[in-house]
C-alpha cells in the first residue's frame, strides 16, 4: 500500500487548453478516495496521470515517498480497472486473470495460487473455464477486478467501472467493491460522475469542476468525508452538485440587522453557524441554500418551525417512499419532500410548506463561498 500526493498538479494539452489547474491534496495510505464531478471536470485525466498514462504539465506527484512524474506506468505498482472490461474474448476467465502475471514471468504455481485466491474473493470459482461471452455484465466486471487484484498492487485505480451495468447490478457491485477494499486495505482511487456512488463508497470525496479560462480557478472545490461535504458544502458548486434532488439555491437578502434572511416576504432566522458572518453581510444579497428534505408538510415533519413558504405546484415526482414537489415562489422554483401517501393537489394548486430554519446555508453570490 501507499499514499498518493498531488502537489500543484496541472495539465495542459495546448497553451490555450487547460484541463487540470493547481490540484493539491493527499490520498492516505489504505484510503478509498472518490473523485466526483460532471463530465469535463478532469477526473479521469487525474486518474490517468496517477497511472502514468498522461504526462504531467506542472507540479509534483508522489506515490509513497517516490516522485513518479517521469516513472513508466509499469513501474508505478498500480492496477487499473476501466469503464470497459477489456477482456480477451478468446481466453477463459482463468487466463484473463492470469495474463498480467504470465507476461511478468511469475512462476506457474504462484499464478495458480493468486488466481484461485482472487476467484475465491470475487465468487468466480464456477466460471474459471468460461469465456467472456458466456458471462453476465457483473461477472465480466468481477473478472476485470480479479485481473487487478492478482497483481497485489500498492494502488487500485477505478475509472467509472460500474457505468455499463444496470441499476440493480450497480447497487450490488457498489457493496461488493466496498467490501473488497475493506478486506484488501489497498489505497484506492475511484472516478465517477454518480454522486450516490461517491457518497456510499468513499472514505473521502474530492469534488471537481471544470477549471475554465480563469487562471485563479482550480478544479478542486472541496475534499472531505461524504457527510462533511453534504452537511457543510464549501461553495455553491459543491452545494448544487452533491445531493439528489439538488439543494435549493435561492436569491435572498440579509435584513439590515443581519438577524434574518429575506426571501420574497418570508423571514428566515439566520442559523447559529452563520450569525457572525451574517453581521458582516447585513443588508446585502446572499444565496440561501436549503435541501429539499428540510422543506415539508407541517404535519409530517419531525421539527417545529414558524417559517412557511407558499407557492404554486409545478411538478410532482412520486418516488414510492416519498414525493418530490417542485413549486413556484414568485418566479423561483423550490423543491420539497413529502411522504409518499401525501394527499396532493394538482399542478397549479397552491401549497404551503414549513422550513427547517436551522438547516439553512448561506453563500456569497460574488465569491460563491459558504459564509460560515
Rg, C-alpha atoms of the chain = 24
For residue 348, tell me if it sits in a domain. Answer: yes
Q: pLDDT tens, 282-316?
A: 999 999 999 999 999 988 898 888 899 999 999 99
Contact 359, 271 (CB under 8 A): yes
Task: Flag the least confident range among 48-52, 54-58, 163-167, 273-277.
Answer: 163-167
Are residue 178 and residue 302 in the same domain, yes or no? no
168 pLDDT above the threshold of 70: yes
Domain that holds residue 48: 4-240
Domain CATH code at residue 263: 2.40.50.140
For residue 372, tell me if it sits in a domain. Answer: no
Q: Work out the pLDDT band at 342, boundaries 50, 70, 90.
A: low
What the block records as the C-alpha cell of 93 is 476467465
For residue 369, tell me if it sits in a domain. Answer: no
For residue 359, tell me if it sits in a domain. Answer: yes
Residue finishing a domain among 196, 220, 240: 240
325 pLDDT above the threshold of 70: yes
Are residue 281 and residue 205 in the same domain, yes or no? no
259 pLDDT above the threshold of 70: yes
Q: Which of 31, 11, 20, 21 is nearest to 190 (CA)?
A: 31
Residue finishing a domain among 178, 210, 240: 240
pLDDT of residue 99: 92
Q: How many domains does the chain have?
A: 2
Concatenate the DSSP letters of all residues of 13-38 into one string.
Answer: EETTEEEEEEEEEEE-TT-EEEEE--
Amino acid at each position: 500500500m501507499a499514499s498518493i500526493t498531488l502537489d500543484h498538479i496541472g495539465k495542459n494539452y495546448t497553451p490555450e487548453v487547460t484541463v487540470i489547474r493547481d490540484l493539491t491534496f493527499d490520498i492516505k495510505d489504505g484510503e478509498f478516495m472518490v473523485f466526483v464531478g460532471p463530465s469535463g471536470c478532469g477526473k479521469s485525466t487525474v486518474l490517468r496521470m496517477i497511472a502514468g498514462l498522461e504526462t504531467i504539465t506542472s507540479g509534483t506527484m508522489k506515490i509513497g515517498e517516490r516522485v513518479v512524474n517521469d516513472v513508466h506506468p509499469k513501474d508505478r505498482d498500480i492496477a487499473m480497472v476501466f469503464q470497459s472490461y477489456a477482456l480477451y474474448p478468446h481466453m477463459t476467465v482463468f487466463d484473463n486473470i492470469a495474463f498480467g502475471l504470465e507476461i511478468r514471468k511469475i512462476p506457474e504455481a504462484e499464478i495458480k495460487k493468486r488466481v484461485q485466491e482472487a476467484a475465491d474473493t470475487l465468487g468466480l470459482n464456477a466460471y474459471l473455464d468460461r469465456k467472456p461471452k458466456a458471462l453476465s455484465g457483473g461477472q465480466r466486471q468481477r473478472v476485470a477486478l480479479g485481473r487487478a487484484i492478482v497483481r497485489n498492487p500498492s494502488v487500485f485505480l477505478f475509472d467509472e467501472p460500474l457505468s455499463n451495468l444496470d441499476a440493480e447490478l450497480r447497487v450490488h457491485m457498489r457493496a461488493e467493491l466496498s467490501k473488497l477494499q475493506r478486506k484488501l486495505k489497498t489505497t484506492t482511487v475511484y472516478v465517477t460522475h454518480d454522486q450516490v456512488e461517491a457518497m456510499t463508497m468513499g472514505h473521502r470525496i474530492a469534488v471537481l469542476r471544470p477549471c475554465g479560462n480563469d487562471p485563479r480557478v482550480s478544479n478542486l472545490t472541496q475534499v472531505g468525508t461524504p457527510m462533511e461535504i453534504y452537511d457543510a458544502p464549501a461553495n455553491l458548486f459543491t452545494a448544487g452538485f452533491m445531493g439528489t434532488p439538488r439543494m435549493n439555491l435561492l436569491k435572498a437578502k440579509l435584513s439590515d440587522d443581519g438577524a434574518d434572511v429575506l426571501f420574497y416576504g418570508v423571514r428566515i432566522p439566520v442559523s447559529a453557524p452563520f450569525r457572525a458572518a451574517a453581521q458582516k453581510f447585513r443588508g446585502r444579497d446572499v444565496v440561501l441554500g436549503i435541501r429539499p428534505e428540510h422543506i415539508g408538510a407541517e404535519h409530517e415533519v419531525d421539527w417545529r418551525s414558524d417559517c412557511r413558504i407558499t407557492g404554486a405546484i409545478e411538478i410532482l415526482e412520486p418516488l414510492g417512499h416519498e414525493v418530490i414537489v417542485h413549486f413556484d415562489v414568485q418566479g423561483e422554483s423550490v423543491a420539497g419532500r413529502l411522504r409518499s401517501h401525501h394527499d396532493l393537489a394538482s399542478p397549479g394548486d397552491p401549497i404551503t410548506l414549513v422550513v427547517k430554519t436551522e438547516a439553512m446555508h448561506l453563500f456569497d453570490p460574488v465569491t460563491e463561498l459558504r459564509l460560515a
